Structure 1
Amino acid sequence: MNVIDRIKNLFKRGGYALTEGTLKTINDHPKINIDPNELARIERNFAEYKGEYPKVEYLNSMGELRERDYMYLNMMKLSSELLSGLVFNEQCEIVVSDADDDKEQNTFKNADDFIQHVFEHNDFKKNLMRYLDPMFAIGGIAVRPYVDQATGEIEFSWALANAFFPLRSNSNGITEGVIKSVTTKMEQKKTIYYTLLEFHEWVNDLYVITNELYKTDNKGEIGKRVPLNELYEDLQEKTEIAGLTRPNFNYLKPAGFNNIHPHSPLGLGITDNCKPTLKQINDTYDQFNWELRMGQRTVFISDQMLKVRPDEHGEPPRPVFDPDVNVFKLAKMEFDQEFVKDVTNDIRTEQYVSAINHHLKTLEMDLQLSVGTFSFDGKSMKTATEVVSENSLTYRTRNNHVNEVEKFIKGLVVSVLELAKAYKLFSGEIPTFEHIGVDFDDGVFQDRSALLQFYGQAKTYGFIPSVEAIQRLFEVPKETAEQWLKDMQAEQLANDPMEREYQSQKDTYGEEE
């Protein structure tokens, strides 16, 4: 180890960044050391997720180099959107409880009420649905609860994969990290970029949050450190929180191992292992669109038919073509031949559609989705009932991701309650993961007819009460189920012949004395 490395390590152990120079990248900070290939991978994923592709270069009929837009199918976005919709929806129920049939009081009722308020205040379910989309595409998201001193409410701050950087991790997850947020400001008609780096670290049993602000006029760099009050008036440089048992932030990544960088705690996007397939799909689609636009028409024209003109530099005259057309080709033809000959072939629609569908099948295999999930020829996809009845690969893949999301939600619940208790906003007991229930509402995957038959048989053999069967089948509260059962029993009595005869005699002769 040389002298420079030793000095760097001293500053890293000391926990303070050198601020004399300008940070070009996040890795220039002495506390942060992330594989540059991981950072590059995340940025490439973001570019593809947004549909940022370079233009296609081609030679026109005059041999000039031209450019055109690249046409693509954003399968990264479509795949991520598909999985996010399957994994989570707003019907999901999150409950903190230890109550059962033998207990009249729930020890964690106050915790449940508090969590319901915080999640409702932050519109958590809706936001999680939105952020799961880029999480699957890029490889991760982080959320951090914090206390708004002005309102006394707990707010959520979300960070995408390119704004969260791990500092320390173990087999249970990331224990220390950095969250980056960028703010722009106009100064003298010039855009200034402020980057806030929020360090979350453990110092013995204390949880320490340190804020550093950097300023630059170059969008591609972090900048030079400046005082926090230049942008944030009330933000403290350091905050210490006691009583926490887990990091204040919670990091979620797709299920599966990071085989590209095995030692990285960061997650992979669901399409990171199928980039060649995505390229084949996009290239085929781009060629198909270009063939439709140009008709791939090729016309040979005799040099005797074209007008010529000298160029602006006095060079020999050249034939004049439309500069954006690659249809016409100059050919030497004899007088007894056709001066214009169309050699155009038919557009190969069926071949292109077949090729794209073939690549989509490969993508389904890469993503571990059922056959028929994607289709380019307009054929209908499998229904949710078929997904379950076939024990489909999509359903099993979905369940793997559900497990990760469930752990993420439970960790966030504990983090919120611990933070609230540290700031004296909550005084109850902190639940463990076993006391937190997350019901993902799998109704979209369940065949109601099959459920009716299942619960009907269970009720017939006395395995489940009628009220409970109604609750589970129709997803109604217990009080509603009880009322429905009473109404059903009343209707059955009304339709009983003996009951109708008794009621008729009662109406005629009155009550028996």
Structure 2
Amino acid sequence: MFKGLIAKIKAVMQKMGLIKSIKSVTDIVDIPVTDDFYQYIENVWLPLYQGYLQVYDGKPFHEVKFTTIGGGEQKRRMKSLRLPKTASEEMAKLIFNEKCKINISGEGTAEDIHNVLNDNNFYKMFQDHLEYMFALGGMIMKVYPEKDRTGAWKVKIAFVTADCFIPISYSNGRIDEGLFLSRFKRGNKWYTLLEWNKWDEDDRALFVVRNQLFQSNDENEIGIPIALETLSEYKELEPETYFEKLTRPLFVYTKPNIANNIDLQSPLGISLFANAIDDLHVLDTMYDSFHREFKLGKKRIIVPSTAINYVVDTKTGEQHRYFDVNDEAYEAMSFNDLEGQKIVDTSVELRVDEHAKALQTQLDIVAMKIGFSPGTFTFDGKGVKTATEVVSEDSKTYKSKNSHETIIEESLKELIQTIYEVADTYGIFKKPEKIEVTVDFDDSIVEDRDSDSNYWLKLQNNGNIPKWMALQNILKIPEEEAKKIVEMVREEQANEMPDIDTQFGGGA
């Protein structure tokens, strides 16, 4: 974003009166994060995800320096397998894809929510930003009201990456207040939009969204505050908006279910590959060596320099060469002795198998460090492929998937709650008194649905659980919906089929 991000934001907070009784900017402790942590996001995790990290821990990472025979130092870019991108994408697809479903109790309320989700292209956007979350350590879903072309209010959902969000306050790991940043350039000016999401200090029942626009001539400075209407896209943006009916913030912060061992006091999450940076460097070094093996080990034939000189045909007077000087297989050398005046093939044996085995070993090490089972990623001689077979329930991949799903499901429930509260505030649709939200993740690759169904039916048939509970777990639907299905089946089969009790092996 810009250098000294946190210090600059704290200075702005001081001027706004959001921080009181302080001695200096460095004494401000209200923001529970540091510039150092954001350096990991901007300068390490994001470059790795994009495929090229120039420097890490003060040393070259994907930049290689070498000296030629002429003594000159040169630089080149190391080849990369780009595993951070592959791993983040794979984990996101394992957890959330087009087969996933968000279930909400109540037909009317469910339709309202699904209309909002569909209107915001939620399922596609969520999967994309879930990938960014695993790469950068977090993401934010922001809910806000917006008028459409007819003037009617609609609920909108915006997705924000981890590098554009700063937590202001939190409790028990849950972020209650935050700051969103938008940074862009127009002409020779830099603009920064700060959106503060805070509970009112005088009335904690009010949630306040404050917008400030800054202009600067320097990329690394926030600059001076200017009117929002200065830029056409912000003409309709209110400087302050108050929300009275909220029980939670307008945003939901989500992170991978990995403990933050970089800053133990921070509420922010860390990247999926935060603890495998050195291993990724070894992996890309091996992959680069694999490519160099073919370049440096290409066929070379040494011939005497006299052999590439012109030879004059005595009969025609035309000049000829014995060897094509444009053929890179030949290397000309001068020899003083007659013994050296001969053609030598210096081709070497390529170490393809050795490189492939080493790469696979390192892939398994990296996979284990980032939450996948060994063998998840394979090297086929061209690049990385991902295993598509069913994942066993005792595998590391399965356990990691379930672990991340715990936090993600809770975040989706909070999102639905926020949508209801915003919709109710602006009269879009009413918030029901009681709702039940469940998320049906796609477990087709990690479980046998028939075996899972048999497990719950066996419990029901033995009288250990009611029939609706068996259906709830088999179909992964809310309790209310499961009970309705049981009742519908009972009514339908009352006269034509045996009672549903006998189908499920007993009473409720």
State the partner residue of 1:112.
Answer: 110
Matching residue within 198, 203, 206 for 2:200 = 203
| Shift of residue 155, structure 1, vs aligned partner | 0.5
Cα distance between partner residues in 2 of 1:264 and 1:472? 36
- The answer (yes or no) to whether the contact 2:31–2:168 under 8 Å persists in 1 is yes
* Shift in CA distance, 16/297, structure 1 to aligned 2, threshold 3 Å: farther
* 1:50 alignment partner AA: Q
| Corresponding residue number in structure 2 for 1:169 | 170
Q: Per-residue deviation at 1:282? A: 0.7
CA distance in 2: counterparts of 1:263 and 1:474, whole angstroms: 40
Flag the structure with larger Rg: 1
TM-score by length of 1: 0.74
Q: 99, 119, 122: which one pairs with 1:121? A: 119
Q: How many residues align?
A: 444
Moved more, 166-175 or 277-286: 166-175
Separation in 2 of the partners of 1:174 and 1:217? 33
Deviation at 1:266? Answer: 1.2
Q: Which runs of 5+ in 2 are unaligned?
A: 1-6, 55-62, 310-324, 498-508
Deviations 1:306-328 (A, max 9, x none): 99xxxxxxxxxxxxxx9xx9996
Indicate the larger mover: 395-404 or 258-267: 258-267
Q: Distance in 2 between matches of 1:400 and 1:350?
A: 37
Task: Give how far 1:250 is off.
Answer: 0.7
Cα distance in structure 2, aligned partners of 1:184 and 1:10 = 23
The answer for the alignment partner of 2:249 in structure 1 is 247
Structure 1 portions without partners, runs of 5+: 18-25, 98-105, 308-321, 491-513
- Which of 407, 426, 431 aligns to 1:428? It is 431
Which of 60, 70, 89 is residue 62 of structure 1 equivalent to?
A: 70
In the other structure, the counterpart of 1:20 is none
Q: Runs of 4 or more off by more than 4 Å in structure 1?
A: 7-10, 29-33, 217-221, 296-307, 325-333, 338-342, 378-384, 451-479
Task: Please state if 1:385 is matched with 2:390.
Answer: yes
C-alpha contact 2:99 2:441 (8 A) present in aligned 1: yes
SS at match of 2:339: coil
Amino acid at match of 1:46: L
Deviation at 1:410, TM superposition (A): 1.0
Contact in 2 for aligned 1:301/1:341 (Cα 8 Å) = yes
Give the aligned partner of residue 493 of structure 1. Answer: none
**Correspondence for 1:415:** 418
1:11 shift after superposition: 2.3
Deviation at residue 249 of structure 1 after TM alignment: 0.9
Contact 2:85 2:135 in 1 (8 A): yes
Contact 1:414/1:431, CA 8 A, preserved across alignment: no
Post-superposition offset of 1:175? 1.3
Task: Name the amino acid aligned to 2:249.
Answer: P
Question: Alpha-carbon deviations, 1:336-370, whole Å to 9, x = none?
Answer: 32466444421110111111111111112212322
CA distance in 1, matches of 2:264, 2:219: 31
Q: Report the Cα distance in structure 2 between the residues aligned to 1:305 and 1:366, rounded to whole angstroms.
A: 56
Out of 335-344 and 200-209, give the one that drifted further. Answer: 335-344
Shift of residue 67 of structure 1? Answer: 3.8
- Change beyond 3 A, Cα 1:383–1:300: closer
Shifted more, 153-162 versus 63-72: the winner is 63-72
For 1:421 and 1:474, how far apart are their aligned partners in 2?
A: 30
Q: Secondary structure at the match of 1:71?
A: coil
1:174 deviation in Å? 1.2
More deviation in 275-284 or 208-217? 208-217
Stretch deviating more after TM superposition (362-371 or 467-476): 467-476
Deviations 1:472-496 (A, max 9, x none): 87899959x959x97xx89xxxxxx
- Contact 2:208 2:241 (C-alpha < 8 Å) held by counterparts: yes
Counterpart contact for 1:15–1:31, Cα < 8 Å: no
Q: How does 1:103-502 map to 2 (within 5 A)?
A: 110-149=108-147, 150-185=151-186, 190=187, 192-204=189-201, 205=204, 206-216=206-216, 218-219=218-219, 221-231=221-231, 232-295=234-297, 334-338=337-341, 341-377=344-380, 384-388=389-393, 391-429=394-432, 431=434, 435-451=436-452, 454=455, 478=485
Q: 2:451 is aligned with what amino acid? A: A
Deviation of the 1:401 alpha carbon: 0.1
Matched to 1:396, the amino acid is K
Structure 1 stretch displaced more, 56-65 or 148-157:
56-65
1: CA distance, partners of 2:237 / 2:329: 61
- The corresponding residue for 1:39 is 38
Return the alpha-carbon distance in structure 2 between the equivalents of residues 62 and 339 of structure 1.
26
SS at match of 2:340: coil
Q: CA deviation at 1:110?
A: 4.8
Report the 3-state secondary structure (helix = DSSP H, G, I; strand = E; otherwise coil) of the residue aligned with 2:392: helix
Looking at structure 2, the residues matched to 359 and 455 of structure 1 have their Cα atoms a distance apart, in angstroms, of 41
Secondary structure at 2:418 match in 1: helix
Q: Cα 1:473–1:244, aligned 2, differ >3 Å: closer, same or farther?
A: closer
Residues 1:342 and 1:214: Cα distance change in structure 2 (over 3 Å): farther
Supply the distance in 1 between the matched residues of 2:86 and 2:385 (Cα, whole angstroms): 16
How far apart are residue 86 of structure 1 and its match? Answer: 1.0
Q: Name the residue aligned to 1:316.
A: none
Secondary structure of 1:271's match? coil
Query: Contact 1:72/1:285 (CA < 8 Å) preserved in 2?
Result: yes
Change (3 A) 1:263 1:357: same
What letter corresponds to residue 90 of structure 1 in structure 2? E
The answer for the alignment partner of 1:90 in structure 2 is 98
Using the TM superposition, give the Cα deviation of residue 192 of structure 1 relative to its aligned residue in structure 2, in angstroms: 4.2
Q: 1:200 to 1:340 in 2, by over 3 A?
A: farther
Query: Which amino acid in the other structure matches residue 209 of structure 1?
Result: V
Contact 1:8-1:30 at 8 Å conserved across structures: no
Tell me the residue number matched to 2:17. 14
**156 and 203 in structure 1: CA distance in 2 versus 1, 3 angstrom threshold:** same
Q: Distance between the aligned counterparts of 1:329 and 1:74, measured in 2? A: 39
Which moved further from structure 2: 170-179 or 274-283? 170-179
Which residue of structure 1 lines up, in the alignment, with residue 316 of structure 2?
Answer: none
